[in-house]
Structure 1
Amino acid sequence: MTIAKGDKIPAGKLRTLTADGPKDITTDEIFAGKTVVLFGLPGAFTPTCSAKHLPGFIEKFDALKAKGVDTIACVSVNDAFVMGAWGKSQDAGDKVLMLADGNADFAKSLGLDADFSAYGMGTRSKRFSLVAKDGVVTEVNVEAQGAFEVSTADHVLGQL
């Protein structure tokens, strides 16, 4: 079942790359007591993800913060090293928390996993965005296959 408005973000662990290497980070650490914009995408360094999705949230950082967002996070079914390198290549800095969901466990827990085997990518995440306040989803936007409309930074800004 796909996560919906009013649902609690499932408990789980993701990974992020720190100066000391990959580190586990729990969903409680990410979401508890905060307003979080989380967006997910099929893969780091892929065309739409690199040209539009991640750059849009970096560009709209100040506007999202002005609307009360504490954390902007990007999650993909990649490892922490890939997510760290991608964030660095996109100049995400401290604007976007880059989260690795290497085994797609988090995507599956949200009901947002997708089979990209036809593209040689295996199980990945659907393209989506959501807003959560203190771990409870207030907005969720899931793209149709191949679309890039409702998960954009601009769309999320309009929901806040």
Structure 2
Amino acid sequence: MQALRQLISRPALRYTQLSHIQRCLQTSSILDMPIKVGDSLPSVELMKGTPNDKVDISKYAGKIVIFGVPGAFTPTCSKDHAPAFVNSVDALKAKGVASVICVSVNDPFVMTAWGENLDKGNKIEFLADTCGDFTKAIGLELDATPLLGNIRCKRFSMVVDDGKVKALSVEPDGTGLTCSRAQDILKMV
């Protein structure tokens, strides 16, 4: 950054040189773009049950549904979002969905307990994104530090087919429940 300031402060700096520098700086933000329809899922290991049981989210074959929540045992996630997906698994499977996966930035023990609490039939996989690596890789971080103590995942749902995103809904505020519900994803499968 200091080298850039020195370069800009030179009196002999030509407009074309400055224009080139600005273009480079402006395009660097593309690296931070959130995942979108047509993108491949990143290869990230998530924990299923215990820290020793890891799954690479990009390796799921066929059509899957992934929904992300800001936190296990939080009110909207526990009362509305996750239960609606549990109740919709059969309808999703009838449309060719092989797996329904819930992802949250929580530890695997919390995710397991939450799954056992909500999903007595083990219809959904509750995966822990313990350090938020998946959440960061798809660009859907939510700064929930004041309420939940750290960076969490925005509320979203997506349809993925053989590793490629086919449909995606991200809540505009990251936490509400207006477009990422099970009923919404059923229309997209």
TM range (shorter): over 0.9
Partner of 1:154: 183
- The correspondence for 1:132, drawn from 160, 165, 172, is 160
Q: Deviations along 1:14-48, whole A, 9 cap, x unmatched?
A: 00016xx741111233x2x2101000010000000
Aligned residues: 156
Cα pair 1:34 1:70 within 8 Å, conserved: yes
Compute the displacement of 1:144 (Å): 1.8
2:120 and 2:141 map into 1 onto residues whose CA distance is: 24
In structure 2, what is the Cα distance between the partners aligned to 1:129 and 1:76? Answer: 12
Give the percent of matched residue pairs that are identical in Structure 1 and Structure 2: 44
Q: Which amino acid aligns with 1:159?
A: M
Structure 2 counterparts to residues 11-50 of structure 1, below 5 A: 11-17=43-49, 22-29=52-59, 31=60, 33-50=61-78
Q: CA deviation at 1:134?
A: 0.0
Q: C-alpha distance in 2, partners of 1:79/1:34?
A: 27
Report the structure number with the largest CA radius of gyration. 2
**129-138 or 9-18: bigger deviation:** 9-18
Question: Aligned-pair distance for 1:9?
Answer: 0.1
User: 2:87 is matched with which residue?
Assistant: 59
Give CA deviations for 1:1-23 in whole Å, capped at 9, x if unaligned: 100000000011000016xx741
The normalised TM-score by structure 1 is 0.93
Unaligned runs of 5+ in 1: none
TM-score, length-normalised on structure 2?
0.79
Maintained 8 Å contact 1:115/1:122: yes
Q: Is the 8 A contact 2:107 2:129 kept in 1?
A: yes
Q: Give the CA deviation at 1:120.
A: 3.8
Give the letter for the 2:40 counterpart: K
Identify, as 1 or 2, the structure richer in strand: 1
Bigger relative contact order, structure 1 or 2 (CA pairs below 8 A, ≥6 apart): 1
Q: Distance in 1 between matches of 2:169 and 2:58?
A: 21
RMSD value, Cα: 1.3
What secondary structure does 1:138 align onto? Answer: strand
